[in-house]
Structure 1
């Protein structure tokens, strides 16, 4: 089984930053500890000082380490406000991508439920337009992937909770390439494409009827089937 890369391979900076973070997370570098100098780290990792500087800068941006004037760089011990990150370079196997689909399923089901409970007329109009755009894109010979993303965003917007929207956007970005692969498969099998559109329509109708549990279930079924289509596309 093979799977297309979803992003560029990890850079030296990525690798060094990850290794340094692991040292801190696993307790080998404690809060208050001073990191070795750039020169010492460059020698240990076998990379340039520029790579070390960029890697440490990433940890500083996340609040993991801090620079003290004239003293060096120290571990802060701050863990609560780190940015959420998923290493896209690790998503090279079908299993890894399915883990992201599983995460998205948990998110999408609640988004659909909350959209059903809270949607306004203007939200419904936006959702209907987004659904129609997918069919139009496919009819024009496209894969409809970007339109699909916009459709799910329109549902998240209808919840009135901006954090649903930002979290969905974050998670979905890791599935765009994989979705293109399944859409290529669906384009060759009209029944599968019809199934996708029917699943979308079921979500929309549950939201229209403000059927909270129905919307939750429709979204759950859609994401379960999306995982199945991914698996079939990579047999």
Structure 2
């Protein structure tokens, strides 16, 4: 594949994702992998686009280059990207994913885009909410945050869906702001039942598979 367009300057949603992630060290490459797949599915990177360099991705996600390489190797193995020696990594497209991804259908792209829109909205609103929460939080607020994180870790360790506990944590932050608008915003972006079913259907794809 000839070199395509270079990495897009607006690649910032995935960078901000790292600020709120609670992945354990062993799962760092999974976070990078999932975020890059999301970027391709949503159209942030199109077929032929050049991905950011390993150094840039490592800085974006605050991880080491070996972690980035592991994520890229998984993407290459699944036919999502192609590496050109001395040039970089280029998006191969979604054809292979559509053909081999479990239960992949055209509606997935639309629903994934909606989920990414929710994420982008969160990453715009939540930094200010976190600032206000840090200034206004009380003991009960901290207890709610700790409880949500503990439940997230337990679910993550058991391989279960964690998004409900992620929501509880961010709701706890919103409650700590004592600002009704932030609370309303946090609750408005809780995953819908349809999105939850989507996640369950695609767990086999987005969760790491034994290597």
Same fold? TM cut 0.5: no
TM-score, normalised with respect to structure 2: 0.40
When Rg is computed on C-alpha atoms for both structures, the one with the higher figure is: 1
Higher RCO (CA 8 Å, separation ≥ 6 residues)? 1
TM-score, normalised with respect to structure 1: 0.36
